[in-house]
Chains A and B, each alone.
Chain A
Amino acid sequence: MRKKDRLLREWELYKSLRGKELQIFTVSTKIPPKLNELRELCTLPPIYFALTEELSFDQVKLYKALVLTEEIGLGWLNPETPIIKLPRLKTLLVALPFWVYLDENFLLNHTKKLGVLNEDDIHHLEDYAERARIPQDIRGEYIRFLMKLLSPYNTESILTYLEKLEEYQFTPSVFAISDDIKTYFESSHYAFAMAASSKNMHKGTNFFAIVEKNPEIGPKLTLYLPQDYLGQKITIKVANNVLFEGTLETTRLEFTNLPELPDYTSWLEAIDVDLSV
């Protein structure tokens, strides 16, 4: 009999094949990852990544990897969902609305290079991942399930959950930095820092920080903190200027009204997160 709820059937089949943890294998031919590549994770059913950004810190290369899948019915959200066809491999992929950060060794050992995407398509995929909303239906359940499966491989243990998963579970706390602090940094030596890196991210001992330039609200700082800090009193300082002091309610904090600096690397390195005793 043709069951009407095809999505449910696809989801039940997929779930029955996946345990609670991903079983990943090592590839036989290792090809170092490069930006804009499409790669296949060596697991069954496979998962695919488009490498859209390369970030370097602590001598480790980290890639922002948009996730794609062969589970077409579950991954396709609307006619805007990007589709990639690999005729040689008889494979069709749909883009999912989330991404993970993977380090180069993980990609080297466990993923296979399939080809290269052009810049326009990379932007198209990124744009979709940022804009598309995760539905509340069975497709959302599938997407969140995949996010959880991939979360242990998200390089930074500090990022226990992926950005969108957090977004789904908790709204980040947003704070505006006071004008005094903003002005202070704009006239300090930080304002004359050379643009050594345009990536503007930093992994501290107990946090992970990213500055993103948003044309509408100006630069925004996002801090990811460890889950076990939740409910505890913490202090966040930049070169002894207090940005936040209080009980931590979410593991992700956002700060707006940032000082306008040509490069944030050294400013981010001056951040300290302390547990109040």
Chain B
Amino acid sequence: MRNYKQVIEKLLTNQINSKEYQSFSHALERIFKQALKTHFTLDVEKLFLKFYGPDYLKALASELIFKIVSKKDSFLKMPYISEKYLLITALSIIYFHLSSGFKIVEKEVNLDDLSLTQEEDKEQEIRVEGLLPPVFVNFLEDSALSHLVLSLKEKLTKKELETLCWYLDKAYKQNPKEVKASADALYKRWERLKPKLKKILGEEVLDGTSAEKLFYVIKSEICDKLS
């Protein structure tokens, strides 16, 4: 894997030439493309396109350069800088925009913002955010629910998944799929499944998340796919 140590060192010590800068910037654009594709959804990518315009990758790359400069002490001392460090920083920038509802869109970042004198002079007050945009909360909730449902899929047997779907359909008054078992047997299977489910789900996972949302994720990811 490519080591970005040299180019970042040149960037941080003002020794980078424009060709190297361009090439580094293109690499960062590719990293953002990868970050959006593998860690986010198509909808999130569309939001960036909508709010930033077609040059959104370029704008994000310049923000990543800004973040590298802001973490100069760490980046300069890292003996090896793999692409993964840049990828994780890119993820953080994407989350930042998602949480701001794309209201903090800037085409250019100002490196002067990092000047030490400003940093020392300014007693910057930091606040815990109150209301967060639904697009952000929904994305995080969906990530947690998808993970939960995929764990269920992995940890439960086919018979147990069938029982879970039967119970959920019944509870939500949906038309349950045909299951080759009597209602009595299904109830017994459900009772046996409950403690196992409790262990996997854990009560805390569902804090603040609607049961209905969980139902629809289980339905679409598990029940509808049961043959």
Contacts and interface: CB of A to CB of B under 8 A. Distances in A.
Contacts of B199: 136
A117 interface: yes
A118 interface: yes
A85 B104 CA distance: 11
A207 B205 CA distance: 36
A80 B140 CA distance: 12
Interface in B18-62: 37-42
Given A5-B147, A9-B39, A80-B207, A85 B99 contact: yes
A233 interface: no
B91 interface: yes
B77 interface: yes
Contact of A137 (B42, B85, B205): B205
Contacts of A85: 96, 99-100, 127, 129
Nearest to B41: A2
B191 interface: no
Contacts of B205: 135-137
A84 interface: yes
A26 B70 CA distance: 15
Contacts of A46: 71, 74
A27 B77 CA distance: 10
A228 to B, nearest CB: 33
Contacts of A6: 39-40, 143, 146-147
Interface centre among B88, B113, B120, B202 (most CB of A within 10 A): B88
A4 B28 CA distance: 24
Contacts of A138: 147
A198 B129 CA distance: 31
B67 A89 contact: yes
B178 interface: no
B208 interface: yes
Contacts of B71: 44, 46
B93 interface: yes
A9 B38 contact: yes
B124 A121 contact: no
Nearest to A83: B129
Contacts of A38: 126
Nearest to A88: B113
Contacts of A27: 73
Contacts of A114: 124, 126
Given A7-B147, A137-B147, A17 B84 contact: yes
Interface string B89-102: 10111011001100
Contacts of B148: 137
A121 B74 contact: no
Given A10-B91, A13-B87, A44-B71, A79 B126 contact: no
A73 B75 contact: no
Contacts of A71: 88, 92
Contacts of B119: 29
B102 to A, nearest CB: 13
B128 interface: yes
Contact of A116 (B38, B123, B143): B123
27 contacts: A2-B42, A4-B150, A4-B221, A7-B147, A25-B77, A28-B73, A29-B116, A44-B75, A45-B85, A45-B88, A72-B140, A73-B140, A79-B132, A79-B141, A80-B207, A82-B129, A84-B127, A84-B128, A90-B67, A90-B93, A115-B123, A116-B124, A116-B126, A117-B126, A117-B127, A118-B125, A137-B151
Interface of B: 37-42, 63, 66-67, 70-75, 77-78, 82, 84-85, 87-89, 91-93, 95-96, 99-100, 104, 109, 113, 116, 119-120, 123-129, 132, 137, 140-141, 143-144, 146-148, 150-151, 199, 202, 204-205, 207-209, 221
Given A45-B88, A83-B99, A115-B126, 9 more contacts: A5-B147, A27-B73, A70-B92, A80-B208, A85-B127, A92-B95, A117-B126, A117-B127, A137-B202
4 nearest A-B pairs in the assembled complex, by CB-CB distance: A115-B124, A78-B208, A115-B126, A7-B147
